[in-house]
Amino acid sequence: MSSLFALRLFGYRLLKPLTWPVSRAVPIPRPTLFVGPDASLRLCASIGQFGYRRVMIVTDAVLVKLGLVEPLRQALLAQGIDVAVHDGITPDPTYPVLQAGYEAVRAHRSDAILAVGGGSAIDAAKVIGAMAVSGKSPAKLIGMLKVGKPMLPLFAIPTTAGTGSEVTVAAVVTDPVKHVKSAVIDPKLVPLAAALDPVLMKGMPKAITAATGMDALTHAVEAFINRWPHADTEQHCVAAVRMIFGNLQRAYDDGSDMPAREAMALASFYAGLAFTKAYVGYVHAFSHKLGGMYGVPHGLANAITLPYVLDFIKDAPLARERLAKLAVVIGAGTAGEPHDILAQRFIDRVRELNRGVGIPEKVAALKPADVPTVARAAMVEAARDYPVPKNMSLGEAETLLQRMQA
């Protein structure tokens, strides 16, 4: 590691604790929540009651083709609302995708946005809503508290159970030239209301069910083991982990299992509440770069990376204690057993769940020549942004990535 790079990491780690009081002091709103079968239609009815008359549905072409968007459009039309549909959102939305959405909203003169889809659609809708009011480009919004003016009112209907974007203060965008993912972070991005409707998730493909479910687990676990605790986030983490271990395999095996689908949607919501305050860690730092460089879906990258990172941090006292607690939560042991044994059991259960839902153990796209680049990017992101329980050296990051190679 070059002395300049090491100094840069040291500076980030030295300054990071100063942001903790700020993160605790900034008020974070929570959306009004509709839960259960047909919750999406009840949310649409509430949009009319809010008084909005020109609503843009931001979604993707696949959901439109599957017919999931039309009932929502009709529910809005029935209230006399002028509705337009922008279905140009793609996975990991890039600057041009966001610009096209912004232009569609301006042309329609929308006074509210309804996001329908997975994390990419909801994140895109957040940024588009911010652009519509501020006039800023996506690049100018990247970072913390850059949104400025209140964005267009946003409502969210997630069709996957994983990202928690319907409750978070963040939106992830992709620079298509640099192949870098970055986050827009601002409490103004939190939707006014969200609907967790298991009916819309019934037809979710197995691979997406698996990846998004493990994405939610990653959010909950990283938030739980980080160094910036919040009493309420700990409760949300525990609930999310318990619900995911109890329901993800069921939802994967039988997509029409509505109680399991609803439980997974709630688990994702709880995990989103948790990591909004307690942040994530090295898993996300690696996954963001893997997604930006190779297009690996975020949930899948998190799912593969999670056990490798847990193997690394399990020796840190805080992480070992927290992982031991999670082992007890999922029934992998009892509270009186040694923490190191319990922590390892939890990691083993994570690997078992990955195998059960068809998650591969390696990243097929990861090239040996790219390992240093991915490692350095992950190190910077984690040192700058995340209160991880154990710091990683550049050599350790490269070794971890080499273990993940196919």
Query: How open is the CA angle 181-318-20, to the nearest 5 degrees?
Result: 55
Contacts of 179 (CB under 8 A, 6+ apart): 292, 293
Taking only the tens place, the pLDDT of each residue in 203-226 is 999 999 999 999 999 999 999 999
What pLDDT does 48 receive? 92
What pLDDT does 1 receive? 59
- All domains in the chain, ordered by first residue: 3-22+205-404 (1.20.1090.10), 31-201 (3.40.50.1970)
DSSP category for residue 188: G
- Pure H helices in 109-230: 119-134, 138-141, 198-201, 206-225
Contacts of 186 (CB under 8 A, 6+ apart): 130, 144, 145, 146, 147, 169
| CA distance linking residue 75 with residue 314, whole number of Å | 50
Looking at every residue in the chain, the average pLDDT score rounds to 95
Question: Computed over its alpha carbons, how large is the radius of gyration of the chain?
Answer: 20
Taking only the tens place, the pLDDT of each residue in 91-145 is 999 999 999 999 999 999 999 999 999 999 999 999 999 999 999 999 999 998 9
